[in-house]
C-alpha cells in the first residue's frame, strides 16, 4: 500500500523541492543517502550498501548534475577492487574539482579515495592510506571526511588507541598534486568508546570534531572539540559540551562550522534510555574562547525525534535534521518520516523559520548538506516502490531543495514566541540552565501548515491506494 500524500511545510525560507536523486536501479539495503555533499550544481550521494560486480555491500557513490531545470545522474564511482562489505561511500566531501570518498569495511581494511574532475568527468587520483605501524588490526578510518583546499581530515572514530575505540582524526595535506599524511589528532581527555572523529567540520584554519560517545559526568553525554592550525600544526583549542550533560545524549552527533560559529547536534538515539527529542547547540568564538549562545529544539518535538542527527550552519541560516520526526498522520505512515528545521537570525537569537520534509520519506534528515541556496537531504532508509509494485526496503534516496533564507520575515516563524525577543541571548527560556532556547509551542496563527493535520489525516485514509 502506498500513501500518495500531500506535502506539508511551513512557509519561511521558501524551501521548495527541486529534485529527487535516485540510483539507476533501487536495491534493498543500499542505503543511498547515507552520506551527501553539494557544491554549486554538483551533488554527491553515497550508497555504501550497494552491490557492485556481484560483491554484496561493496558500495558506490553517485554524482548528479543540475542543468538549470533538472538533476541528472552523471556518474557512478566505485572502488577499483570492489569487495564484499567494503562499504565504499560511507562518507563524501567535495571542494571544487576534488572529491573525497570514504570506505570503511566491516572487519576489513579502510581507505579514502581522491577523485579529480576534468572535462566534466571524475577520475581517481589517489588512495589515501594511514601509516600506523603500531596499530593492530589495521586502522578503521574513512567513516567521516572533511575537505577544504589542500587540507583533508579523515575520521577514525572506531580506531583503537591507549583507550579502547577512543578515536582519531588524520590530517592530510596536498602539495604538487599529491596528498600526504601530516598529523594525527586526538582528544586531550579521550575516554574509551568516545568515538572521536565521528563528525568533522573544517573551515580554514579551524576544525570542530565530534566525540558523541564520550563519557563525562554521565555515560555517553558526548562532546565536541575545536582545533586550530598555526604554523602548519593543528592543536586542540577548546572542548564544547552541553551545559547540562545528559546520559546518552550523544552531543557531537553532527557538527558544522562557519567562521567564528559552530553548531553541534545531540540526537539522543532511541537505542539508549531515556528517549528524548534531541537538541542542537550554537557556539560563538570571541577572544579565543568558545561560548554557548543558544540551545535549539523542535517546537513540536517528541521523544525519539533524533533532532540534531544532522546539522548545517551558515551565518544566515541554521538547519537541523530530525530523522525520527513524525509529520504525517498515523494512518499514513509505516514508520518514521523525518523533517528538517530551519532557523534564521533575528534580534540576536536564532528563531524557527521553516520546517520541510517529503511525504514519501522514511528517515528524512539523516544526513544534510547545504551550499548557497541549495540543500541536499539524505534518507538512507527510503522505501522504493517501482512501477511493478515491488517494495524495496532501505533502498535510500536523497532530495534537493532550493531555499531563500532572506525570505524569512519578522513574524513568519514556526514557533510562537521566537520573534518577541523573550528567548534572546543571555535569557533563560525555561530550561533552567541559563541558556537561551528556541520556543516550545508551535504557532497556530499566521503562516502555519499548508493543511491542518486533521484534514490531512482524512485525506490519508481516502488516498491509501495500491499502485497499478
Please write the tens of the pLDDT for every residue from 136-161: 556 678 999 999 999 999 999 987 66
Bridge pairing between strands 279-286 and 261-266: antiparallel
Residue 74, pLDDT score: 97
> Which residues make beta-bridge pairs with 71?
66
* Model confidence pLDDT, tens digit, residues 199-220: 999 999 999 999 999 988 888 8
Share of the chain above pLDDT 90, in %: 65
The CATH code belonging to domain 2-465 is 2.130.10.130
Q: Which stretches in the chain have pLDDT values below 50?
A: 1-11, 163, 410-414, 416-436, 438-468
- How big is the chain, counted in residues? 468
End-to-end CA distance of the chain: 11
* Sign of the CA dihedral running 275, 413, 382, 385: positive
Q: Which three cell numbers stand for residue 196?
A: 572521536
Residue 108, pLDDT score: 65
Q: Which residue's entry shows cell 573551515? A: 203
Residue 452, pLDDT score: 36
Phi-psi region of 244 (alpha: psi -120 to 50; beta: other; left: phi over 0): beta
CA–CA gap between residue 350 and residue 318 (Å, rounded): 8
The closest of 259, 290, 263 to 279, measured between CA atoms, is 263
Q: Where are the beta strands (DSSP E) in 48-198?
A: 60-66, 71-77, 88-95, 98-104, 110-118, 121-128, 144-148, 151-156, 168-175, 178-185
Phi-psi region of 79 (alpha: psi -120 to 50; beta: other; left: phi over 0): beta
Residue 301 and residue 309 in contact, taking contact as beta carbons nearer than 8 Å: no
Domain borders along the chain are: 2-465
Residue 229, pLDDT score: 97
Residue 164, pLDDT score: 62
Residue 138, pLDDT score: 61
Residue 151 and residue 182 in contact, taking contact as beta carbons nearer than 8 Å: no
The pair phi, psi for residue 3, each rounded to 5°, is -90, 115
CA–CA gap between residue 98 and residue 42 (Å, rounded): 12
The DSSP-derived string for 323-341 is TT---S-GGG-SS--BEEE
CA–CA gap between residue 16 and residue 450 (Å, rounded): 13
Q: Which residue's entry shows cell 552520506? A: 35
Residue 94 and residue 46 in contact, taking contact as beta carbons nearer than 8 Å: no
* Model confidence pLDDT, tens digit, residues 249-283: 999 999 999 999 999 999 987 666 566 789 999 99
Residue 84, pLDDT score: 93
Q: What pTM did the predictor assign?
A: 0.86
CA–CA gap between residue 102 and residue 208 (Å, rounded): 19
Q: b/e map of 335-357 (b: 16 or more CB within 10 Å)?
A: ebbbbbbbbbbbeebbbbbbbbb
Amino acid at each position: 500500500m502506498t500513501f500518495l500524500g500531500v506535502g506539508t511545510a511551513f512557509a519561511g525560507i521558501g524551501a521548495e523541492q527541486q529534485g529527487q536523486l535516485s540510483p539507476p536501479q533501487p536495491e534493498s539495503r543500499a542505503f543511498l543517502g547515507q552520506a551527501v555533499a553539494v557544491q554549486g550544481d554538483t551533488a554527491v550521494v553515497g550508497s555504501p550498501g550497494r552491490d557492485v560486480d556481484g560483491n554484496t555491500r561493496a558500495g558506490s557513490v553517485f554524482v548528479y548534475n543540475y542543468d538549470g531545470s533538472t538533476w541528472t545522474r552523471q556518474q557512478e564511482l566505485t572502488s577499483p577492487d570492489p569487495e564484499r562489505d567494503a562499504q565504499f561511500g560511507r562518507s563524501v566531501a567535495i571542494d571544487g574539482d576534488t572529491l573525497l570518498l570514504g570506505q570503511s569495511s566491516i572487519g576489513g581494511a579502510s581507505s579514502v579515495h581522491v577523485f579529480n574532475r576534468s572535462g566534466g568527468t571524475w577520475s581517481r587520483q589517489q588512495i589515501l592510506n594511514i601509516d600506523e605501524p603500531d596499530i593492530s588490526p589495521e586502522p578503521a578510518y574513512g567513516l567521516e571526511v572533511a575537505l577544504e583546499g589542500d587540507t583533508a581530515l579523515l575520521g577514525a572514530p572506531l580506531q583503537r588507541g591507549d583507550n579502547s575505540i577512543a578515536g582519531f582524526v588524520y590530517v592530510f595535506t596536498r602539495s604538487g598534486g599529491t596528498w600526504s599524511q601530516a598529523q594525527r589528532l586526538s582528544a586531550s581527555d579521550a575516554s574509551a568508546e568516545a568515538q572521536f572523529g565521528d563528525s568533522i567540520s573544517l573551515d580554514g584554519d579551524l576544525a570542530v570534531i565530534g566525540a558523541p560517545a564520550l563519557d563525562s559526568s554521565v555515560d555517553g553525554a558526548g562532546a565536541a572539540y575545536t582545533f586550530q592550525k598555526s604554523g602548519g600544526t593543528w592543536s586542540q583549542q577548546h572542548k564544547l559540551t552541553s551545559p547540562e550533560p545528559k546520559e546518552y545524549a550523544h552531543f557531537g552527533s553532527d557538527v558544522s562550522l562557519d567562521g567564528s560559529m559552530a553548531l553541534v547536534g545531540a540526537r539522543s538515539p532511541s537505542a539508549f534510555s531515556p528517549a528524548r527529542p534531541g537538541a542542537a547547540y550554537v557556539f560563538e568564538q570571541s577572544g579565543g574562547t568558545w561560548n554557548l549562545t543558544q540551545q535549539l529544539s523542535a517546537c513540536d518535538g517528541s521523544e525519539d525525534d533524533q533532532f540534531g542527527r544532522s546539522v548545517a550552519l551558515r551565518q544566515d541560516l541554521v538547519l537541523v535534521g530530525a530523522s525520527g520526526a513524525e509529520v504525517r498522520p498515523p494512518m499514513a505512515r509505516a514508520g518514521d518520516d523525518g523533517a528538517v528545521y530551519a532557523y534564521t537570525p533575528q534580534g540576536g537569537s536564532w528563531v524557527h523559520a521553516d520546517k520541510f520534509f517529503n511525504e514519501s520519506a522514511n528517515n528524512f534528515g539523516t544526513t544534510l548538506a547545504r551550499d548557497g541556496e541549495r540543500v541536499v537531504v539524505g534518507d538512507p532508509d527510503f522505501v522504493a516502490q517501482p512501477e511493478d509494485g515491488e517494495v524495496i526496503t532501505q533502498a535510500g534516496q536523497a532530495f534537493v531543495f532550493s531555499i531563500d533564507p532572506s525570505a524569512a520575515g519578522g513574524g513568519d516563524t514556526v514557533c510562537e514566541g521566537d520573534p518577541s525577543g523573550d528567548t534572546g541571548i543571555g535569557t533563560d527560556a525555561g530550561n533552567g540552565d541559563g541558556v537561551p532556547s528556541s520556543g516550545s509551542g508551535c504557532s497556530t496563527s499566521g503562516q502555519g501548515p499548508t493543511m491542518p493535520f486533521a484534514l490531512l489525516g482524512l485525506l490519508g485514509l481516502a488516498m491509501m491506494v495500491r499502485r497499478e
